[in-house]
Structure 1
Amino acid sequence: MSAKTLRIRLLLGLLASAQLMPAVAHAEPAPSAVRAPAEPVVPAVRAPAEPVVPAARVYAEGGVLAVRTGPGVHRPVVARLADGTALAPRCRVWGQELTGPLRRSPYWVRVDGGLVPDAFLAWAPGRGGMPPGLAWCADSGDPATARVAAGGSGLNLRSGPGTGHDRVGAAADGARLAVRCLVWGQAVGDRRRDRVWLRLDSGRYVAQAYVRWSPGPPRLPWCGQQPPRPLPGGARAFAQALAGPARAVARATGVPASVLLAQAADATGWGRSSSAYADHDLFRRGCGDGPGTIALGCRDGLRAYRSADDALLDQAQLLTSRYAAALAAVRDPDRLPAALARAGYGTPAQADHLATLIRRYDLHRYDR
């Protein structure tokens, strides 16, 4: 065999061997196609495991537990469960905080037929309370799942609600997220600018603009927000429930407590408004210019507050900042609504209505 023939056979053997080798999983892009990354590569964070549906039993110390249409004792009762009844919780809702035999809790749990308070549930052995991984409830009552929706890219996890905060991890597109609460932060988003960020159970933050909920978003609490507190029905009970913080705000700002109470009663129908219950919004303050310096954020076009106290303070600061001349000129609470209307706050008819509320329900008593 000639040397030339040997070289040809060796070359054919090498080509055959290359065809039998496994294909490369992914090829590096051509140098011209490589783009410099906008941000340094951040280690990915393992997505939380799919939650396991927990089991629970009614713990009512021999009594019965009411099943309600909503997360508060002011909501109608649709059924009653005997002590020890086994339950299959589906998801959780943020609601009125109750104290039960085992714990104090602001969470309510959806079961067949309605909602029951976590404060009266004994969870599966080994659990001291409601499992943190229990899904939030969508408006439909079904468990809601949050997943990264970044158009095929990963999503940075931040130490705070904005891109100026440190990158502390990343989540792959489609990864499930364990969300704890809402935070107002930097406006981000490709198609829609959104200033709401989500704080995860891990303490990290992601932009809501890149998160999608299935089958729909739940009504999440704002981080640091006090649990919803139903306001008592009736004019006298409503005013007495808010008298303490209204007086404190009056001392700090000079706005009469009676005027604040009348405005809150008028805006919420003496506390019957759902926004007054869920987000402590006593005055239905709009968010056209954002939440300001006191509110936690904006929901459905209205300001959301940490507490009713903060709502009263925000309203008083609005009056003192924009209508200081009217407040300085008129000290009589009966005449102050009309002075505010002349300065641009409300209409004369609304001012007459507020003055009537102050007199009819003797709201002057809270100015003394």
Structure 2
Amino acid sequence: MKSALMRALAAGVLASAAAVALLPGVAAAAPTATVVAGGPLNLRSGPSTADARAGSVADGSKVTAVCQEFGEQVKGTQRATPYWDRLSNGHYVSDGYLRWSPSRPWLPWCTPKGASVATVSSGGGSVNVRAGATTSSTRVGTLTNGTGLAINCQVWGQKVTGHVRTTYAWNRLTDGRYVSDALVAYSKGMPNLPWCGQSPPTVPASGAAQFLARVAEPARLGFQKYKVPASVTIAQSILESGWGRSYLTRRDHSYFGIKCFGNPGTIALGCRSYATQECEGDSCYDTSASFRAYRNATASFADHGYFLTVNDRYKPAFKYSNNPNQFAKEIHKAGYATSPSYANDLIEIMTAYNLYKYDPAKKAQM
């Protein structure tokens, strides 16, 4: 059976001037490229050098790319890029080492089930294409039901209830125009699309020293602007990001797991759902929640300080900006985390790694 994408191509839907979907150079089928690496190119189990090595492919080999993912930024022989290609064997290579002829086609986004082709799903009628992420933005075209879409990234915009879902997410297409994700269907499930302007995912720090070097300055800036002790901020980032190893941190630069509750606030780019764990008293359970996603680590640390400042329940903690241990106890008492040992965990981390040295004031009162 033909896919929605192939049916759209056969019907000539994509040839109209109004169609913003598959622009010239977008792949209609899995294309091939040549490996140019100056030697064997490692295959990976995921889109980063931190993912397990899964073999190699010889320099000069032809490979077939099935779909793409937004991953670690790599400077290869052909280009510097955050795009990684999943090959027909299921493994990944950085697109920085692939030579395309005549140029790189646009590939569908990957999901665990395979290449997920995006198509307009309106329920029958045409869909308006906008100049921005709201229904009040200028209409700059229309798309018929079933039209394939080349999506570049997403932005958080006006809430829309469409044929597929209700969402604030809008898709920016490869020509810069917008379609609400409420009206988009994905053949292999929803891919993990990047937010527009988002820095590429990171790889975990090689050790404690590297992680602390990565977060120390943003934490100090947090104290200067918001009076949150740097030692507490760093301890929270260690505890909540697992030393930067959590997928939420690597993918969406969130070091503190601030939940959305339907709104990303004024600093985050948007919201994304992740598996998590919640506790009620001494009982903890697995669940999922929507978390804020950020442009980079600096934005995450800024939002952490802002979040504590604007929520009145944390106001008592700021009496102890120069007493990190008590500050940690106060935000825990105010409900920052559901883990019953949260404050003690922070204090243990601050002590073990002498995080108090990042504070401009005296060490915590014990």
When the two structures are superposed, what TM-score results if normalisation uses the length of structure 2?
0.83
- 2:352 is aligned to 360
Cα 1:176–1:331 change in 2 (3 A) is same
Aligned to 2:19: 45
Match for residue 302 of structure 1 among 291, 304, 308: 291
Q: Which amino acid aligns with 1:65?
A: L
Structure with bigger strand share is 2
2:178 maps to what in 1? 205
Note the alpha carbon deviations across 1:265-303, whole angstroms, 9 max, x for none. Answer: 111221221111111111111111411111111111111
Give the whole-Å Cα distance in 2 for the aligned partners of 1:348 and 1:55. 54
Query: Counterparts of 1:303 and 1:330 in 2: how far apart (Å)?
Result: 25
Structure 2 contact 122–162 (Cα < 8 Å) conserved: no
Cα deviation digits, residues 15-56 of structure 1 (max 9, x gap): xxxxxxxxxxxxxxxxxxxxxxxxxxxx84364267244321
Counterpart for residue 119 of structure 1? 96
Matches within 5 A, 1:148-227: 148-190=120-162, 192-227=165-200
Kindly provide the amino acid, as one letter, of the partner of residue 357 in structure 1.
Answer: I
Letter in 2 for 1:117: S
Match of 2:86 in 1: 110
Note the 1:67-146 alignment, pairs <5 A: 67-111=43-87, 112-124=89-101, 126-127=102-103, 130-131=104-105, 133-140=106-113, 142-146=114-118
Q: Deviations over 1:135-191 (max 9, x none)?
A: 221222x22211111011000000111101110100001111111101111111146
> What residue in structure 2 maps to residue 27 of structure 1?
none
Counterpart code for 2:43: V
What residue in structure 1 maps to residue 13 of structure 2?
Answer: none
Q: Which string of whole-angstrom CA distances, capped at 9 and with x for unpartnered residues, describes residues 211-261 of structure 1?
A: 101122221100010000113143332222211222222222221221111
Partner of 1:345 in structure 2? Answer: 336
User: Could you tell me how far apart the structure 1 residues matched to 2:145 and 2:90 are?
Assistant: 35
Q: Is the Cα–Cα contact under 8 Å of residues 229 and 321 in structure 2 kept in the other structure?
A: no
Distance 1:166 1:216, change over 3 A: same
Give 3-state SS (helix, strand or coil) of 1:90's partner: strand
TM-score norm. by structure 1 comes to: 0.82
How many angstroms apart in 1 are the aligned matches of 2:341 and 2:116? 45
Q: Distance in 1 between matches of 2:21 and 2:241?
A: 42
Q: Quote the residue 1:312 is aligned against.
A: 301
Give, in whole Å, the separation in 2 of the partners of 1:47 and 1:344: 46
- Cα gap change, 1:294 to 1:166, in 2 (>3 Å): same
Give, in whole Å, the separation in 2 of the partners of 1:137 and 1:97.
17
Aligned partner of 1:164: which letter?
A: S
Name the SS of the counterpart of 1:73 in structure 2: coil
Report the 3-state secondary structure (helix = DSSP H, G, I; strand = E; otherwise coil) of the residue aligned with 1:311.
Answer: helix
Q: Is the 8 A contact 1:334 1:359 kept in 2?
A: no
Secondary structure, counterpart of 1:352 in structure 2: helix
CA offsets 1:99-147 (integer angstroms, 9 cap, x no match): 11221100001112400001111222x33xx33x22221222x222111
CA distance in 1, matches of 2:136, 2:22: 25
Q: CA RMSD in A?
A: 1.8
**2 CA distance for matches of 1:113 and 1:164?**
42
Counterpart selection for 2:316 from 315, 319, 325: 325
Q: Is the 8 A contact 2:316 2:330 kept in 1?
A: no
SS at match of 1:215: coil
Match of 2:277 in 1: none
Aligned twin of 1:264: 237
Q: Distance in 1 between matches of 2:67 and 2:330?
A: 50
Q: Which consecutive residues of structure 2, in runs of 5 or more, have no partner in the other structure?
A: 1-16, 274-289, 361-366
Q: Which moved more, 1:159-168 or 1:84-93?
A: 84-93
The 8 Å contact of residues 159 and 166 in structure 2, kept in 1 or not, is answered as: yes
Task: Provide the rounded CA distance (Å) in 2 between the counterparts of 1:206 and 1:165.
Answer: 11
Structure 2: distance between partners of 1:136 and 1:349: 40
Number of residues of Structure 1 aligned to a counterpart in Structure 2: 320
Unaligned runs of 5+ in 1: 1-42
Task: Assess, with a 3 A threshold, how the Cα gap between structure 1 residues 251 and 211 changes in structure 2: closer, same or farther.
Answer: same
Identity of aligned residues (%): 39
Q: Distance in 1 between matches of 2:189 and 2:301?
A: 32
Q: Distance in 2 between matches of 1:108 and 1:350?
A: 37
What SS class does the counterpart of residue 325 from structure 2 fall into?
coil
